Structure 1
Amino acid sequence: MADDGGVVKRLKTAEGGQDGVVTAEEAAQLRRRIVELESEIEQLRRRGQGEGDHEVLPVVTEVNVTVSTAVDLSRVTTGIVTHITSFLGKPRELLNLALTCKSFGWRQPVSTLNWSLVEEVSRQAVCSRATDNEMGCLPQYVRGATTWLSILHRHEHLLVFDVLLGGYIEHPNGDKTAVCSTGDDGGYCLSVAVPMPGLDTGAYQEEDFSFIGDDDLYAVFLAQRSDDWGDSNVHECDFSCEEGTLSFTAWEENATDEISNYDWDGMEPCQSGDTVGMLLNFNEGTLTVYRNNRRLGVLKDGLSGPYCWYVNLLKRSADAVSIKRGTHPNSDGATSV
């Protein structure tokens, strides 16, 4: 190879199959780059030796200084894939992953897991995020009936009005965190009631509906009773926003454990635009009411078992209520509506 005017001539096959010319400066740059790559490879090799006896993933350096990396997929264990998948964290994203192939969405018989990769990630997400009280409100995992993915979806949508009863209530623009009245008179209450998953909700879409005061429906409600309700005779309890009064019932005809529009210590009526906070304490069995972050007092005690939030709108088109999670003074948390 001869030097001709500072240019090094060498036979080189280019992409188009033509001979090319490499200058001395370009050759020097290539040599420096090769030295840099060799140094990086040596650093990686030493780092791998320092972390254990694991071999460094092979790196192949070709003459044209193109670097390619080969990865042994057998080293990617289920634990690693689970950890990576956990960064998705959303039910919709995990569902899309489960639908891509059986490796993600189908139970692995050779795995120590009793469910699929997506199910394991969903289980971990629920257990790490949900409080003890929230876990008590979520459906239980039952193979073939309830999946961890559906439980995770339910956990992310705990505070919604997912059932509409009566003919004068609807979700504004399809938003299940809010309800509005389509009638023209009345008021509204913010309330809790024991869950009744077997209730035929479709039977009450064309009429007025109330959990209290309608003796004809009490037998229907009590037919839904389960051991989860506990020993309390308070199956429904509501706070009247218009008057600030208390109502509750045991859903028994001529029951002594029934109060309507009762005055209680701390009662205050609310106005349009107010935020009503309701803190349900499962340990003490109490329901505490706040108005605009100011504690009014304990609305009702003696509660046991699970309860569901509900709002009662009485035929007034101006009525609209939304529900969201909130934090109130001197408490760990509450649900605001």
Structure 2
Amino acid sequence: MADDGRAKRLKPSEDGTATIVQQKRRIAELESENAQLRIGTLAANQEVAQLRGRVVGLQSEIEILRRHGQAEGNHDVLPVVMTAIVDLSRIDTGVIAQISSFLASSRELLNLALTCKSFGWRQPMSTLNWSLVEEVARQSVCSRATDDEMGCLPQNVRGTATWLSILHRHEHPLLFDVLLGGYIEHRNGDKTAVCEIGGNYWESVAVSSSHVMSSGAHYAEFLISGAPYIGIVRPMPGLDAGEYQGNFSFIGVDDNLYPDFRAQRSDEWGDSEVHACEYFCDDGKMSFTDWENDEIDIEWEGRESCQSGDTVGMLLDLEQGTLSVYKNNRRIGVMKTGLSGPYCWHASLVNRPSGTDVVSIKRGTLPVSDGATTT
């Protein structure tokens, strides 16, 4: 057959047509995804811009606060602004008492009482007989004190001794914080113990002046070595210990000192003329004075001597006006009556050829097996 000069046209196959359709469809999908990504990128850029604006705003606020703190002289602490007032009357007192009980000391409770009336004053609508702080102090004392110690507390706490002051007393040990005379010192720096130093038969005195007993019952124990005198004496905070560097005693040694003692008298001493009273551990006799006249080495019912290593207990009961003596946890009797007004514990020490006097003091647990009673 002869060539007519015309090119032959090829007929596309069905497979080629399907491939072209799929490619076009994929291109459309990619273009759609690309458009969505562009939209997402635009939204992200807008969010980033907003965040950058927020950061700039926060930095500006920080700078203002920092300048304010510097103007107040504090470069480290930013000022705190109270924006609300809490009505404590709407909060159950038991809840506040529970929270307040976590305060560690009477000093912290006192600071709490001074913050506002809701803590330091008795509230008219409260079921407590005293302030919130007093109730917390009472609970703290009850959790720490033994039954015997609780029995020694004043009957009428309010008006004579607050629960806060009683808690303060329980937190601090008895100390010989005042030394009078030139022949006495704290043993090894321990203020609960004193020893005599110096020449033969020179006498000096240690006083627990920070523990003033004005009401209720008070029990202390004295561990002795030698033959000291142990007893009570009027508080005399104005007495200058530095003025007395020689032989010193509250009873009988040098009555030239008595005018100094009488000059310390206050109305709180009351009517009792017993200003100092001592138990002599060597023979068990008793002496007392009004700093006008002395009564020395008096016999009394229950008198017993003591020796080194014995523990002498003393119970001052200002409700009954008595001073009782105990020996190694055994009550030997009431040594003196007619006592009133404030007193402090004291120990009078003498350096003898037979040995040096040493006395330590501590709060004790009142023995009750012998039927002794307290207020």
TM above 0.5, yes or no, is yes
Letter in 1 for 2:316: L
User: How far apart in 1 are the matches of 2:260 and 2:317?
Assistant: 27
1:13 aligned residue:
none
User: Does the alignment pair 1:107 with 2:118?
Assistant: no
Change (3 A) 1:295 1:149: closer
User: Does the alignment pair 1:331 with 2:369?
Assistant: no
Letter in 2 for 1:200: D
User: How far apart in 2 are the matches of 1:226 and 1:243?
Assistant: 33
Match of 1:164 among 179, 187, 201: 179
2:251 aligned residue:
212
User: How far apart in 2 are the matches of 1:303 and 1:230?
Assistant: 9
Larger Rg: 2
Verify the 8 A CA contact 1:126 1:155 in the aligned structure 2. Answer: no
Letter in 2 for 1:307: Y
User: Does the alignment pair 1:229 with 2:269?
Assistant: yes
Match of 2:349 among 291, 313, 337: 313
- Cα RMSD of the aligned pairs, angstroms, is 3.9
User: How far apart in 1 are the matches of 2:92 and 2:182?
Assistant: 51
Verify the 8 A CA contact 2:317 2:374 in the aligned structure 1. Answer: no
Give the 3-state SS of the residue equivalent to 1:323 in structure 2. Answer: strand
Give CA-to-partner distance per residue, 1:200-258, whole Å, 9 cap, x none: 23322x22211112211111111111222121111100000012111100001xx3xx2
Q: TM-score, normalised by structure 2?
A: 0.54
Equivalent runs, 1:231-270 vs 2, <5 Å: 231-252=271-292, 255=293, 258-270=294-306
Change (3 A) 1:184 1:232: same
Match of 1:180 among 195, 201, 208: 195
Change (3 A) 1:202 1:156: farther
User: Does the alignment pair 1:301 with 2:337?
Assistant: yes
1:37 aligned residue:
none
Q: TM-score, normalised by structure 1?
A: 0.59
Q: Which moved more, 1:321-330 or 1:74-83?
A: 74-83
Change (3 A) 1:87 1:330: farther
Equivalent runs, 1:1-337 vs 2, <5 Å: 77=91, 79=93, 80-91=95-106, 94=108, 107-108=115-116, 111=118, 113=120, 123-127=134-138, 129=141, 152-157=167-172, 159-183=174-198, 185-186=200-201, 187-204=227-244, 206-213=245-252, 214-252=254-292, 255=293, 258-315=294-351, 318-324=356-362, 325-328=364-367, 329-332=370-373
User: How far apart in 2 are the matches of 1:207 and 1:151?
Assistant: 36
Change (3 A) 1:162 1:193: same
Change (3 A) 1:276 1:113: closer
Unaligned runs of at least 5 residues, structure 1: 1-72, 99-103, 142-146
Q: Which moved more, 1:319-328 or 1:187-196?
A: 319-328
User: How far apart in 2 are the matches of 1:173 and 1:194?
Assistant: 28
Unaligned runs of at least 5 residues, structure 2: 1-85, 123-130, 142-148, 202-226
Q: CA deviation at 1:152?
A: 4.3
Change (3 A) 1:274 1:286: same
Change (3 A) 1:114 1:279: closer
Change (3 A) 1:294 1:114: closer
User: How far apart in 1 are the matches of 2:132 and 2:185?
Assistant: 35
Which has more helix, going by share of residues? Answer: 2
Give the 3-state SS of the residue equivalent to 1:164 in structure 2. Answer: strand
User: How far apart in 2 are the matches of 1:226 and 1:269?
Assistant: 35
Q: CA deviation at 1:270?
A: 0.6
Give the 3-state SS of the residue equivalent to 1:305 in structure 2. Answer: coil
Give the 3-state SS of the residue equivalent to 1:196 in structure 2. Answer: coil
Verify the 8 A CA contact 2:228 2:359 in the aligned structure 1. Answer: no
Give the 3-state SS of the residue equivalent to 1:283 in structure 2. Answer: coil
Q: CA deviation at 1:272?
A: 0.5
1:17 aligned residue:
none
1:32 aligned residue:
none
Give CA-to-partner distance per residue, 1:74-103, whole Å, 9 cap, x none: 9995944443232334347x38x96xxxxx
Higher relative contact order (CA 8 A, sep 6+): 2
